[in-house]
């Protein structure tokens, strides 16, 4: 199955939480989720639904992460396998850490793009450099000390500057230089610095059944 290209606000309404899929509309509180509430889209959205099963809860939490970070099933499974190998933190926290350290997410969190989808386009089209070298792999994992910059003279520079004017607080594990359209990874993120509204343990439990 290919990448979803339909209306992204429907995805937020289905999950019932904001997933940063619409940058400026979210900041201005004009998304469909905020206007219509956490009501599933479609003609059946008004129907009373029975309490979800444990599997349904696990699936919904998994979908939140896959939708928010733009990751497909095969790659997501690999992240879960890597996370379960960690011993210093829980598998759920390790999974979120891996997703946060993706290059496209770092570009978004630094405020150089209004959404993760836009950040992925910047990276995939070669507009982003890491430590002075062009990197066009969105899933590249950044470690402490990595410096991210927008390529000098990039045609997306006006979009990036517009994004820096609307960005909220930059997470504490990152350092942003909006004048220079750059930033640096100070350390790995902690769980309390990750804003995705998800119960990550349910995700790990879902893949533990396989």
Contact 45, 10 (CB under 8 A): no
Domain ranges (residues) in the chain: 8-99+195-208, 102-187
CA atoms of 106 and 183, how far apart (whole Å): 9
Q: What stretch of H or E contains 147?
A: strand 147-150
Q: Compute the C-alpha angle 8/151/179, nearest 5°.
A: 85
CA atoms of 127 and 153, how far apart (whole Å): 9
Predicted confidence band at 169 (pLDDT cuts at 50, 70, 90)? confident
* pLDDT, the chain, mean: 86
Stretch 51-71: mean pLDDT: 92
**How far does CA 192 lie from the centroid of its chain?**
15
**Tell me: the pLDDT tens digits for 180-201?**
999 999 999 999 999 888 999 9
Stretch 142-161: mean pLDDT: 96
3-state helix, strand, coil in the chain (%, to 5): 45, 10, 45
The predicted model scores a pTM of 0.82
CA atoms of 18 and 116, how far apart (whole Å): 13
CA atoms of 23 and 116, how far apart (whole Å): 9
Top CATH class of 8-99+195-208 equals mainly alpha
CATH number at 102-187: 3.10.290.10
**Tell me: the pLDDT tens digits for 85-112?**
999 999 999 999 999 999 999 999 999 9
């Amino acid at each position: 199955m290919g990448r979803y290209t339909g209306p992204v606000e429907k995805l937020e309404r289905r999950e019932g939480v904001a997933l940063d899929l619409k940058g400026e509309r979210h900041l201005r509180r004009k998304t469909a989720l905020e206007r219509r509430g956490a009501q599933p889209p479609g003609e059946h959205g008004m129907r009373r639904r029975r309490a979800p099963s444990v599997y349904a809860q696990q699936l919904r939490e998994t979908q939140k992460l896959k939708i928010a970070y733009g990751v497909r099933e095969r790659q997501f499974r690999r992240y879960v396998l890597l996370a379960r190998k960690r011993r210093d933190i829980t598998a759920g926290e390790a999974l979120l850490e891996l997703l946060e350290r993706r290059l496209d997410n770092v570009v978004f969190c630094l405020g150089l793009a209004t959404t993760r989808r836009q950040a992925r386009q910047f990276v995939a089209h070669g507009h982003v450099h890491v430590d002075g070298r062009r990197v066009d792999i969105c899933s590249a994992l950044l470690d402490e000390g990595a410096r991210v910059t927008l390529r000098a003279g990039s045609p997306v520079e006006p979009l990036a500057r517009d994004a820096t004017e609307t960005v909220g607080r930059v997470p504490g594990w990152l350092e942003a230089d909006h004048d220079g359209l750059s930033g640096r990874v100070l350390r790995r993120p902690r769980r309390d610095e990750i804003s995705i509204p998800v119960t990550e343990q349910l995700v790990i439990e879902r893949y533990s059944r396989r």
